[in-house]
Amino acid sequence: MKYYLHLFLFILLFASCSKENIVEDSNQDLTSKELTIFFVNDVHGQIDNFSKVKNIVEKERIETNVLITSGGDLFSGNPIVDNHPEKGYPMIDIMNDIGFDIAVLGNHEFDYGEEVLENRMEQSEFEWVCANVDMNATTVPEPWEYKTITVDNIKVTFLGLVETDGKVDATIPSTHPWKVQNFTFQRPENVISKYANVKEKENSDLYIALSHLGYDKSWSLGDVQLAMQYPYFDLIIGGHSHQIINTTINDIPIFQAGSYLNKLGKIKMTLVDKKIESINCTIIDLNNYSEYDSELQAKIDEYNNLPYFDEVIGYSEVYHSKTEVGCFVVEALKSQMSADISFQNTGGIRASLNQGDITKKEIFEISPFNNGTIVYTMTVAEIKDFLIGSAAGFYYAGVYIEQLNNELIISDLSGNILYDAANLQVGVIDYIPAVYDSYFPQQGAVQSLTDAETIITYLENTSSSINYSGSNNYFKYKR
């Protein structure tokens, strides 16, 4: 009898232990999950290679689970997109066609203004994320701070962040300040800690920072600093700095795919128990990839079929670097606006210029932001205050500027020193007084043409070819 009693107790104990083990194991998901994430960043309106992207993505979808992401700056850089009757729409239309899943708002998403951004976001069949912007009482849709997307049985959460380095005395992205005056931005480092436990809250397999911060910054938060100071993420997909990045910082993989849709990032990974077991990133050179989706290419060809942009308006005797283009642009602005002096910020020059015929499209590629133009009456002393106080670099035309120790000397083109009380007509794009508003008069003579239109008009009204080879009319005050 004792034998049977002992046997019964043993069986009961074994069953209890086995049951506990089963419960404990059920809390772990040891299933291997395969996922491919494609990513682009800083496309800036370049649409031609998207038919290749679709071909690559569709092939991968046959093999495994796929997500497609954008690291921001979809707009500003291609006249076909930027000057479409619905500004930016070709980009959204094509991304919808491919089946993009999610995008972070980049600084150049704000370039077109509130109404256009509202329309493009509403037309998007993919999600938008950005945790450090509030659209306030505008009608622009509020992006998600973070968004979880499920593909098959894999839950992936994306947190969006945009840089806010656009103005010294304000917290805004690097866009025209007048275009974002009704939005509120926070420094990304002031909001990230609120999202430390999002992965657990969402019960996600993967937590990704979809970042438009730039890679590495000494003055503010970049992806390197994000990984070091806020190690909440399984990986970071970045943008803004136009780099090719495939590295690991603080055990967090960081990726970026260059710019202008020359490259496509492809991350293949295996997930086990909400952790990355293996990961491999390939940066695909789209310019050397030959296959494409023919239907999407037909749509792209239709968008590109705009003869207006192919009109020849001038001739370039030599290839011009961006610096030499900047020197040409300020001369064109000064001449066309009948100013004594003109300035152009370096970030406003977005392309070099090839030797040969100059087309309207090339000018819109050089100056893609459709900035307004304005002429101010300023004293030489006020111009010096602007150059010293802004501590920024500018191309300039109409005078000579030199720094002697801490003093600025401004002379006319004959070498005569201009004294501080002298008045000059200063022609600029309106982005400059919007960013450096404390240095410019409240009122100026607003011109009827944008910067690109002004340059085009200048070329149409001059019979001379252009040659700014070796020109370097650039000044930045050295402290």
Query: In this model, does residue 283 exceed pLDDT 80?
Result: yes
pLDDT digits (tens, 9 = 90+) for 10-64: 444 444 444 343 334 445 668 899 999 999 999 999 999 999 999 999 999 999 9
Q: Closest Cα to residue 71, out of 248, 244, 303? A: 244
Query: In this model, does residue 318 exceed pLDDT 80?
Result: yes
DSSP 38-73: EEE---TT--TTHHHHHHHHHHHHHHSEEEEEE-S-
Percent of the chain scored above 70 by pLDDT? 94
CA dihedral 255, 258, 264, 268 (to 10 degrees): -10
pLDDT of residue 27: 55
Query: In this model, does residue 180 exceed pLDDT 60?
Result: yes
Query: In this model, does residue 275 exceed pLDDT 50?
Result: yes
Query: In this model, does residue 332 exceed pLDDT 80?
Result: yes
Are the C-beta atoms of 259 and 26 separated by less than 8 Å?
Answer: no
147-181 burial: b if 16+ Cβ within 10 Å, else e? bbbebeebbbbbbbbbbbbbbeeeebbbbbbebbe
Quick one: average pLDDT of 457-467?
A: 96
pLDDT digits (tens, 9 = 90+) for 144-166: 999 999 999 999 999 999 999 99
Can 31-304 and 311-475 be said to share one CATH topology? Answer: no
* pTM for the predicted model, two decimal places: 0.90
State how far the Cα of 177 lies from the Cα of 246, in Å rounded to an integer: 33
Domain 311-475 adopts which CATH fold?
5'-nucleotidase;  domain 2 (3.90.780)
pLDDT of residue 465: 97
Quick one: average pLDDT of 78-104?
A: 98
Query: In this model, does residue 209 exceed pLDDT 70?
Result: yes
pLDDT of residue 342: 98
List, in order, residues 6 or more apart from 435 with CB less than 8 Å away: 166, 167, 177, 345
pLDDT of residue 28: 66
DSSP 183-231: SEE--GGGTGGGGTTHHHHHT-SEEEEEEES-S--SSS--HHHHHHH-T
pLDDT of residue 265: 98
User: Where exactly are the structural domains of the chain?
Assistant: 31-304, 311-475
pLDDT of residue 161: 98
pLDDT of residue 433: 98
Q: Dig out the tokens for 322 from the structure.
A: 């961006």
Are the C-beta atoms of 395 and 331 separated by less than 8 Å?
Answer: no
Average pLDDT, the chain: 94
Q: Dig out the tokens for 440 from the structure.
A: 């410019």
* pLDDT confidence tier of residue 77, bands split at 50, 70 and 90: very high
State how far the Cα of 97 lies from the Cα of 363, in Å rounded to an integer: 29
pLDDT digits (tens, 9 = 90+) for 374-412: 999 999 999 999 999 999 999 999 999 999 999 999 999
State how far the Cα of 313 lies from the Cα of 322, in Å rounded to an integer: 19
Q: Dig out the tokens for 410 from the structure.
A: 């401004």
pLDDT of residue 405: 95
Q: Is residue 434 classed as helix, strand or coil in its secondary structure?
A: helix
Domain 31-304 adopts which CATH fold?
Purple Acid Phosphatase; chain A, domain 2 (3.60.21)
Query: In this model, does residue 185 exceed pLDDT 60?
Result: yes
Percent of the chain scored above 90 by pLDDT? 93
Quick one: average pLDDT of 102-111?
A: 98
Q: Side by side, which strands form the sheet with 263-272?
A: 127-129, 102-104, 65-70, 33-40, 263-272, 275-285
First and final CA of the chain: distance in angstroms? 98
CA-to-CA separations, 360 to 39, 365, 367, 467, in angstroms, rounded: 31, 9, 11, 18
Q: Which helix (H) or strand (E) holds 387?
A: helix 380-390
pLDDT of residue 414: 97
Are the C-beta atoms of 475 and 327 separated by less than 8 Å?
Answer: no
List, in order, residues 6 or more apart from 379 with CB less than 8 Å away: 420, 421, 422, 423, 424
DSSP secondary structure letter of residue 294: H
pLDDT of residue 30: 81
Quick one: average pLDDT of 125-138?
A: 98
pLDDT digits (tens, 9 = 90+) for 220-251: 999 999 999 999 999 999 999 999 999 999 99
State how far the Cα of 378 lies from the Cα of 369, in Å rounded to an integer: 25
Quick one: average pLDDT of 168-193?
A: 97
Residue holding tokens 């306030």? 136
Query: In this model, does residue 341 exceed pLDDT 60?
Result: yes
Query: In this model, does residue 140 exceed pLDDT 50?
Result: yes
DSSP secondary structure letter of residue 344: E
